[in-house]
């Protein structure tokens, strides 16, 4: 094909589909939003972890006995109930629940009462 322009035809320069520009990975491109790559990385890590979990279940099966875990957490596994771990785990939610109930109660009272309660608490 000749480089001469015929009537009704465009030049090769006008028909270019690629233009030279900086790569998105270079600092001169001005592209700085890499959240898609981060999301893709976490997705690949998650899929890889799930695949490994399923392969281990297929190869070894489920090797955990829930009764043994309960006996261990309740303290009966050691022969005595000196270390009731499950009670400590359950009790750890009590302060959080108590604080939540106090804050909900404080949202129902007036501002004057809130300041009096805050001063008496301090």
Per-residue pLDDT band at 80 (split at 50, 70, 90): low
Q: Could you tell me if residue 93 is inside a domain? A: yes
Q: Could you tell me if residue 111 is inside a domain? A: yes
Give one DSSP letter per residue of the chain, joined into a string.
--SSPPTT---TTTT-S------TTSGGG-----HHHHHHHHHHHHHHHHHHHHHHHHHH-----HHHHHHHHHTGGGTSSS--HHHHHHHTTHHHHHHHHHHHHHHHS-HHHHHHHHHHH-
92 and 60 within one domain: no
95 and 69 within one domain: no
Average of per-residue pLDDT across 46-66: 92
Q: Is the pLDDT of residue 45 over 70?
A: yes
What are the tokens at 36?
A: 């898609």
Q: Could you tell me if residue 50 is inside a domain? A: yes
Q: Could you tell me if residue 45 is inside a domain? A: yes
Number of separate domains in the chain: 2
Q: Could you tell me if residue 109 is inside a domain? A: yes
- Give the total residue count for the chain: 122
95 and 65 within one domain: no
Give the model's pLDDT for residue 49: 97
Mean per-residue pLDDT over the chain, rounded: 80
- Residue 68's domain spans which residues? 34-74
62 and 90 within one domain: no
91 and 68 within one domain: no
Q: Is the pLDDT of residue 7 over 70?
A: no
Average of per-residue pLDDT across 103-107: 85
């Amino acid at each position: 094909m000749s480089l001469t322009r015929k009537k009704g035809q465009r030049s090769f320069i006008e028909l270019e589909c690629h233009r030279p520009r900086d790569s998105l990975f270079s600092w001169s491109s001005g592209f700085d939003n890499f959240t898609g790559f981060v999301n893709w990385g976490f997705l690949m890590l998650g899929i890889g972890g799930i695949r490994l979990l399923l392969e281990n279940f297929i190869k070894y099966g489920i090797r955990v006995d829930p009764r043994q875990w309960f006996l261990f957490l309740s303290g009966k596994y050691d022969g005595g109930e000196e270390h009731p771990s499950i009670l400590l785990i359950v009790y750890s939610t009590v302060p959080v629940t108590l604080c939540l109930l106090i804050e909900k109660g404080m949202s129902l009272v007036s501002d004057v009462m809130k300041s009096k309660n805050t001063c008496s608490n301090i």
